[in-house]
Amino acid sequence: MSESEGTSAVSEFKVVNPATNETVREFATATDAQVEQVLERSARAWQSWRATAKDERAKVLLRVAELYQERIDELAALITTEMGKPTREAKGEIRLVVSIYRYYADQGPALLADTPLSPRAGGTALVRKEPIGPLLGIMPWNYPYYQVARFAAPNLMAGNTIILKPAPQCPESALAMEQVFRDAGLAEDAYITIFAATRQIAGMIADPRVAGVSVTGSERAGAAVAEVAGRNLKKVVLELGGSDPFIVLDSDDLAKTVKAAVAARMGNAGQACNAAKRIIVVGDLYEEFADQFTAAMAALRPGDPADSAADFGPLSSEAAAERLMGQISDAVDKGATLRTGGTRADRPGAFVEPTVLTGVTPAMRAYHEELFGPAAVIYHAGDAGQAVELANSTPFGLGGVVYSADPDRAREVAGMLETGMVWINSPQGSMADLPFGGTKRSGVGRELGPYGIDEFVNKKLIYTPAPR
Q: Which amino acid is at 195?
A: F
Q: Are 58 and 109 in contact (CB under 8 A)?
A: yes
User: Interhelix angle for 144-158 vs 171-183, to 10°?
Assistant: 40
List of residues 6+ apart from 399 with CB closer than 8 A? 242, 244, 274, 419, 420, 421, 422, 423, 428, 438
| 273 counts as catalytic | yes
Q: Of 89, 239, 353, 455, which is the active-site residue?
A: 239
- Please report the DSSP string for 264-307 in residue order: HHHGGGG--TTSEEEEEEEGGGHHHHHHHHHHHHHT--B--TTS
**How many Å apart are CA 213 and CA 225, to the nearest integer?**
8
Q: Are 396 and 242 in contact (CB under 8 A)?
A: yes
Q: Of 273, 353, 447, 455, which is the active-site residue?
A: 273
Q: Are 435 and 451 in contact (CB under 8 A)?
A: yes
Torsion of CA 103, 425, 341, 87, to 10 degrees: -30
Local structure of 111: helix, strand or coil: helix
> Phi, psi at residue 311, to the nearest 5°?
-75, -35
Nearest to 317 by CA among 164, 149, 170, 145: 170
| 170 counts as catalytic | no
Local structure of 382: helix, strand or coil: coil
**How many Å apart are CA 272 and CA 389, to the nearest integer?**
23
Residues taking part in catalysis: 239, 273
